C-alpha cells in the first residue's frame, strides 16, 4: 500500500523570502545587488514565484503613471487599451524588455504604458486606483500589476534570481529595491499571484499567511478596493494605501492597526495610551492582520518592514551609512553588505522605517 504523506511533512510553512534595500540619500544602484541578495535564500522558494519593485527607474517619465500589465490573450489587450485610450493620454507604450531564461517559457504578454489622466479628475491617485480595480476585476485575462510613478514592479513564475535576470533588472538603477521569493502554501502559483502586490507606488512583499483575509477583503470593499489576484497578500497593499495615503495615518500608527496589541496588553496601559489603542481597535478592527507575517512595503519616499504581533516570521534589519537593509535572513544582507554598522531583529509588531533624504532609519519600539 502506498504510504500517505502528511501535509506537515512536505509543506514549508515558514517559506518565502523578502529583501529590501533603500539608499536614503537617493543614490541609485543597479539590480544585480538585490538579485544576489535574494538568491542567497533560494531554499525558501520553490520556483513558483519571484518578483521585484524598484524606485527611480523611469526618470524621463517621472511625471507619468507607469502601468505594467500582463495579458493572457490579444482580446484582453485590445479591451484594456481601448479603455485606457478613453481615460488617459498614452505618452508611450511598449513590451516590457525581457531576455530568454531557461525555465521561464510559459509567460503572459507583458506590456508597459506611460500614462497621464485626462483633465477633470479632482484626485488623480483615486482615479488611477479605480482604473486598476476596473481592469483587474472587470476585463478578463488582463491584470495591472504596477501603477506608480517613476517605479515599477517586475514579477512572474520562477525562482526570484531567474525572474530578475528575465526582466533584465541589472540594466535598471534604483534607490530602493524590494524583492520576494515565493513558496505558496494556500494559493496557486501564477504570474499575477507572485509578489510584490502593488497599487500606485505601494508594493508589498510578504512571508506568511493572512488568516483574516476574508474580513480584510470585505472591509476594503467598503472603500472601493476589489481583490482579484487570488492571494491573501493583495489586501496588505490596499490596507497601506487606505490607511496611509487616504486616511493620512503615520506608519507608526498603521503598524499598531495591522499588528495591534492584544486586548490584555491594552488593559495594562496607562489611561491615555489605553484610550488611544482602544479607539484604534474599535475603528480599525477589521483592518487587523491575523496570522503569521513579515512584510516589506515601500512608497516613493519610504521603505517599511513589519512583522506580526507575536513575531511568527523572521525579519532582520541592518544599516550601513545611509543604506537600510531588510531581509528574512541576515545572510542575505551580509552577501551584499559584509560589514554593516548595525544589525538587529525588530520586535513583534515594531515597524522599521527608512525615509528618503532623512539622515537615519528609525526603529519604533512596540509597547509591551
User: Which ranges in 54-177 belong to alpha helices (H)?
Assistant: 74-87, 124-138, 160-166
Q: What is the largest CA-CA distance in the chain?
A: 69
For residue 116 the three cell numbers come to 497621464
Q: What is the dihedral of CA 50, 47, 235, 256, to 10 degrees?
A: -80
Q: How far is CA 239 from CA 247, 254, 257, 279, 361, in A?
A: 10, 9, 10, 18, 23
Strand partners, 323: 23, 320
Q: Could you tell me where the beta strands, DSSP code E, fall in the chain?
A: 17-23, 29-30, 50-55, 65-71, 88-95, 109-117, 142-146, 151-156, 173-174, 176-181, 197-199, 202-208, 293-299, 302-307, 316-320, 323-327, 342-344, 352-355, 361-363
Residue 218's H or E segment, with its range, is helix 213-221
Give 177's DSSP letter: E
Q: Is 79 annotated as catalytic?
A: no
Bond before 75 cis per omega within 30 degrees: no
Q: Which of 16, 79, 227, 337 is catalytic?
A: 16
DSSP E strand stretches across 200-251:
202-208
Q: What 8-state DSSP symbol labels residue 16? A: -
- Please, are residues 171 and 61 in contact by the beta-carbon 8 Å criterion? no
Contact between residue 209 and residue 54 where contact means Cβ atoms under 8 Å apart: no
CA 112 to chain CA centroid, nearest Å: 19
Residues forming the active site: 16
Amino acid at each position: 500500500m502506498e504510504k500517505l504523506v502528511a501535509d506537515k511533512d512536505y509543506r514549508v510553512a515558514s517559506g518565502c523570502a523578502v529583501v529590501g534595500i533603500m539608499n536614503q540619500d537617493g543614490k541609485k544602484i543597479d539590480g544585480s545587488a538585490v538579485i544576489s541578495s535574494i538568491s542567497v535564500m533560494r531554499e525558501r522558494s520553490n520556483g513558483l514565484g519571484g518578483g521585484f519593485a524598484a524606485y527611480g527607474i523611469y526618470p524621463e517619465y517621472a511625471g507619468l503613471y507607469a502601468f505594467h500589465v500582463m495579458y493572457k490573450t490579444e482580446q484582453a489587450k485590445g479591451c484594456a487599451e481601448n479603455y485606457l485610450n478613453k481615460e488617459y493620454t498614452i505618452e508611450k507604450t511598449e513590451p516590457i524588455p525581457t531576455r530568454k531564461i531557461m525555465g521561464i517559457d510559459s509567460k503572459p504578454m507583458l506590456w508597459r504604458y506611460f500614462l497621464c489622466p485626462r483633465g477633470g479628475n479632482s484626485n488623480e491617485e483615486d482615479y488611477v486606483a479605480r482604473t486598476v480595480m476596473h481592469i483587474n476585476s472587470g476585463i478578463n485575462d488582463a491584470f495591472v500589476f504596477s501603477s506608480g510613478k517613476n517605479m515599477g514592479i517586475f514579477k512572474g513564475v520562477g525562482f526570484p534570481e531567474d525572474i530578475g535576470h528575465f526582466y533584465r533588472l541589472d540594466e535598471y538603477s534604483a534607490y530602493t529595491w524590494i524583492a520576494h521569493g515565493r513558496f505558496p502554501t494556500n494559493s496557486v502559483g501564477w504570474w499575477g499571484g507572485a509578489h510584490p502586490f502593488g497599487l500606485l507606488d505601494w508594493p508589498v512583499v510578504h512571508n506568511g499567511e493572512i488568516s483574516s483575509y476574508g474580513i480584510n477583503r470585505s472591509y476594503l470593499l467598503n472603500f472601493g478596493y476589489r481583490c482579484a489576484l487570488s492571494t491573501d497578500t493583495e489586501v496588505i497593499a490596499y490596507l497601506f494605501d487606505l490607511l496611509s495615503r487616504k486616511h493620512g495615518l503615520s506608519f507608526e500608527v498603521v503598524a499598531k492597526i495591522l499588528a495591534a496589541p492584544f486586548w490584555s496588553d491594552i488593559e495594562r496601559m496607562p489611561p491615555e495610551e489605553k484610550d488611544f489603542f482602544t479607539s484604534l481597535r474599535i475603528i480599525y478592527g477589521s483592518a487587523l492582520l491575523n496570522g503569521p507575517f513579515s512584510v516589506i512595503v515601500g512608497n516613493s519616499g519610504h521603505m517599511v518592514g513589519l512583522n506580526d504581533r507575536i513575531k511568527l516570521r523572521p525579519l532582520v534589519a541592518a544599516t550601513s551609512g545611509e543604506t537600510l537593509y531588510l531581509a528574512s535572513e541576515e545572510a542575505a544582507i551580509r552577501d551584499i553588505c559584509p560589514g554593516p554598522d548595525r544589525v538587529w531583529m525588530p520586535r513583534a509588531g515594531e515597524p522599521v522605517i527608512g525615509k528618503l533624504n532623512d539622515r537615519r532609519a528609525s526603529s519604533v519600539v512596540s509597547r509591551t
